[in-house]
A = this chain, B = another copy of it.
Amino acid sequence: VVGPCAACKILRRRCEEKCILAPYFPPNDPFKFTTAHRVFGASNIIKFLKELPEEQRPDAVSSMVYEAKARLRDPVYGSAGAIFQLQRQVNELQEQLAKARAQLVNIQCQNDSLLALVFMDRVDDNVNDDPYFYCFDDHSAGASFFDDGNVG
């Protein structure tokens, strides 16, 4: 004889054979149900599950329990707070990545100019060129060392 599921036990109701909550709220984990129940309410949980095909219900329960935990941990911002924090982190990382990539373009340009200088020094020791490198932070605005004026 299997006892009632955690939900029915806590709600003090008969756990029927086809109880919609039983598969997701086993009797050995009452905390899982009380968490979701305190935030969404049993009737909303049942309503959400009924609206979903059976194969999507486990994920729906997991995400509701996850959100409920976030709301109980942070009653002001809940999981929306985690979203705002992560969005800020994404923005910061995107800025840092754009900066690093711009530095890479610039330093690669310097490298190309230096390689050209080393090459020229070795091919013709008499060349008295000025080691001025046309590499700018705004790469699009600057002329490359390999522009028409310098090479050819």
Contact = CB atoms under 8 A, between A and B. Distances in A.
A67 B78 contact: yes
Contacts of A87: 86
Contact of A83 (B48, B56, B83): B83
Contacts of A139: none
A103 B107 CA distance: 10
A contact residues, range = 35 or more
Given A86-B87, A100-B100, A117-B118, A40 B44 contact: yes
A24 B151 CA distance: 69
20 contacts: A38-B44, A41-B43, A59-B77, A63-B78, A64-B78, A67-B80, A79-B79, A79-B83, A82-B83, A86-B87, A86-B90, A89-B90, A90-B90, A90-B93, A97-B97, A100-B101, A104-B104, A111-B111, A114-B117, A114-B118
A110 to B, nearest CB: 6
Given A39-B40, A100-B101, A118-B114, A51 B75 contact: yes
Complex copy number for this chain = 2
Scoring A56, A63, A81, A121 by chain B CB atoms within 10 A of each residue's CB, the highest score goes to: A63
B76 A79 contact: no
A56 B93 CA distance: 30
A1 to B, nearest CB: 33
